[in-house]
């Protein structure tokens, strides 16, 4: 099921909201796995305290999957004159973030792999980092067509976004660190 996309152009900002109900298949998978493993641990022989701990862990996994399914995805991206601010909650490794518009190179759609430690599917922003360029997911859960709608809305409202040139190893970027040359010994004689 595709996510619901709501784009609102306000006087001082552009607000984009993504809503999507949770994936029931993840909950069912956790439920079946939790029941099977919990039942196995409950009726196995061994230390009763360990069995209790393992059954409790299985129940916590089931409850966590239920909560994640009920919450679903609810993320808001606000773009103003200075920043892109993404807030809300989603599964698959999304984290709220804030990025200055002045350091953005490009917007793109990226297909995620899913899971807690991997990247979600959605709108990504390539931006300048301390030592290299970074990619950050700003709107998870949207497809390629919705991503293009968002990019078009942002560029229509803020055409100076993505105005800086790409840098990094491919562009022979210097890292902006000041060298004190303390490794060289210059003696005056």
Q: pLDDT tens-digit profile of 122-139?
A: 889 988 776 666 888 889
85, β-bridge pairs: 78, 98
Separation of alpha carbons 164 and 158, rounded Å = 14
Q: DSSP per residue over 28-56, as a string? A: HHHHHHHHHHHHHHHHS-S-HHHHHHHHH
What integer best gives the mean pLDDT of the chain? 78
Asked whether residue 188 is assigned to any structural domain, the reply reads no
In this structure, are 66 and 119 located in the same domain?
A: no
74 Cβ neighbours under 8 A, 6+ residues apart: 17, 18, 19, 88, 89, 90
| SS3 category, 9 | strand
Q: Is residue 4 part of a domain?
A: no
**Residue 176 domain-assigned?**
no
What's the burial of 48, exposed, middle or buried (CB within 10 Å: 0-12/13-18/19+)?
exposed
Co-location of 95 and 57 in the same domain = no
What is the percent of the chain with per-residue pLDDT over 70, rounded to a whole number?
79
Do 49 and 82 fall into the same domain? no
| One domain, residues 54 and 131 | no
User: Quick one: 161 and 86 in the same domain?
Assistant: yes
Domain count, the chain: 2
Q: State which residues form the domain around 51.
A: 24-70
Residue 113 lies in a domain: yes
8-65 tens-digit pLDDT: 988 889 999 988 877 777 777 778 887 888 777 777 777 888 878 887 887 888 887 7
Half-sphere exposure of 31 (CA within 13 A, CB side): 9
Q: Is the pLDDT of residue 66 over 90?
A: no
Mean pLDDT, residues 148-161 taken together: 89
């Amino acid at each position: 099921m595709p996510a619901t996309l709501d784009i609102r152009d306000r006087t001082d900002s552009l607000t984009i909201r993504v809503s999507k109900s949770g994936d029931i298949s993840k909950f069912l998978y956790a439920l079946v796995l939790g029941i099977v493993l919990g039942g196995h641990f409950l009726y196995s022989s061994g230390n009763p305290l360990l069995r209790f701990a393992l059954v409790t862990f299985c129940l916590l996994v089931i409850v966590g999957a239920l909560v994640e399914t009920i919450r679903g995805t609810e993320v808001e991206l606000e773009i103003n004159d200075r920043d892109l601010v993404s807030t809300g909650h989603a599964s698959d490794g999304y984290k709220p973030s804030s990025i200055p518009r002045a350091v953005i190179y490009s917007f793109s759609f990226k297909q995620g792999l899913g899971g807690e430690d991997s990247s979600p599917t959605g709108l990504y922003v390539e931006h300048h980092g301390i030592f290299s360029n970074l990619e950050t997911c700003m709107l998870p859960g949207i497809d390629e067509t919705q991503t293009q709608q968002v990019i078009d809305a942002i560029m229509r409202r803020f055409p100076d976004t993505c105005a800086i040139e790409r840098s990094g190893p491919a562009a022979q970027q210097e890292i902006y660190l000041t060298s004190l040359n303390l490794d060289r010994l210059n003696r005056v004689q």
